[in-house]
Amino acid sequence: MLNRTSSVPLHIQLANLLREQALRKELRPDERLPSERELCQRYGISRITVRQALQTLAQEGLVYTSVGKGTYISDPTMTEELRPLSSFTQDLERRGMHASSQVLEASLLPADEKLATSLKIPKGSEVVRLHRVRLADGQPIALQLTYLPHHLCLNLLRFDFTNQSLYAVLRTEYRLTLARSTTVIEACLANADEARLLKLALPAALLVSLQTTYLDSGMVIEVTRTAFNSERYKFHMHA
C-alpha cells in the first residue's frame, strides 16, 4: 500500500509498486493493468496521481498504452541500435551534469569462452576488465562493467578513468573509430551489492543495458553491462 506520511510523492510510490510487481512477474508482459478508475479506488488517490505514475513507467518503457483499450505491461526486454554513438560522459554533459567515476577494478584477465565469443577473439586472449561506479554530479547513477580486447588498446590501464572518458581515450590515444553499437535493455531488481554501491534501498529497480560496440572495421572493441538507477536515468531512443 501507499504511505501517505512518506516524503516520497504518491505517484512515485505507485510507480515503484507497479514496477516491482512487473519485475516479480506478478504482472506479466502484455497483461492489462487495472483502469485509472480502478487504481484510484484501490489506492485512494486522484486520477492525476495515477496518470503521473503511468507516465513515469511509460518513459521507462515498462508499460505501453493501446488507445481505447488501456495500459499494458511491456515485454521487459527491448533491443535497439542507439545512434549517434556517444559515451556515458558525453551523455551526462548534454544533460548539464558533471560525469566522473569510482574505479572498482581495472585489470587484465584471459577471456573465457563466453567472453571470447562476445568479443570475437580466441579463448584465452588477454582482455581488459574495467568495473566502475558512474557518478553524475558526484552521485552514483550506474554500475558499469566493461571488457575490451587488450590487443586493440595495449597498456590501457595506464590511464586514470576516474575523470577520463574511455571513449575519448580510445579515439584520441589509440586512433580508433567507434562506428556503431547494439544494445539490449532490460529491467531487473538490484541485488544487495548493487543497491549498496548505488545507495538504493531494497527492493530497487534497475535498467540494465548490455552493449556491444564495433569499430569501423567491424571488430568488437567492447562489451559493457551498465546497471542504471531507474529513478535517476532515462533512455531516449530515436527511430
The pLDDT value given to residue 166 = 94
The pLDDT of residue 193 is above 90: yes
What is the tens place of the pLDDT at every residue in 203-216? 888 888 899 999 88
Indicate the residue type of 161.
F
* 89 vs 158: which has the higher pLDDT: 158
CA distance linking residue 159 with residue 49, whole number of Å? 48
- Cα 171 to chain centroid, rounded: 23
Is the pTM higher than 0.75?
Answer: no
Indicate the residue type of 116.
A
The pLDDT value given to residue 33 = 93
Task: Name the residue with cell 559493457.
Answer: 224
* Residue 150 pLDDT class (50, 70, 90 cuts): very high
* Residue 232 pLDDT class (50, 70, 90 cuts): low
The length of the chain is 239
Indicate the residue type of 94.
R
Question: Which domains can be identified in the chain, with CATH numbers?
Answer: 10-75 (1.10.10.10), 78-229 (3.40.1410.10)
- Cα 81 to chain centroid, rounded: 14
* Residue 4 pLDDT class (50, 70, 90 cuts): confident
CA distance linking residue 147 with residue 131, whole number of Å? 9
- Cα 148 to chain centroid, rounded: 19
Instruction: Give percent of the chain with pLDDT exceeding 90.
Output: 46
Is 65 in contact with 57 (CB distance < 8 Å)? no
What is the tens place of the pLDDT at every residue in 23-57? 777 888 888 999 999 999 999 999 999 999 998 88
What is the tens place of the pLDDT at every residue in 73-120? 876 554 444 445 556 776 767 767 788 899 999 999 999 999 999 999
CA distance linking residue 49 with residue 85, whole number of Å? 36
* 8 vs 89: which has the higher pLDDT: 8
Q: Which of 92, 77, 116 is nearest to 210 (CA)?
A: 77
CA distance linking residue 12 with residue 213, whole number of Å? 34
The pLDDT value given to residue 74 = 77
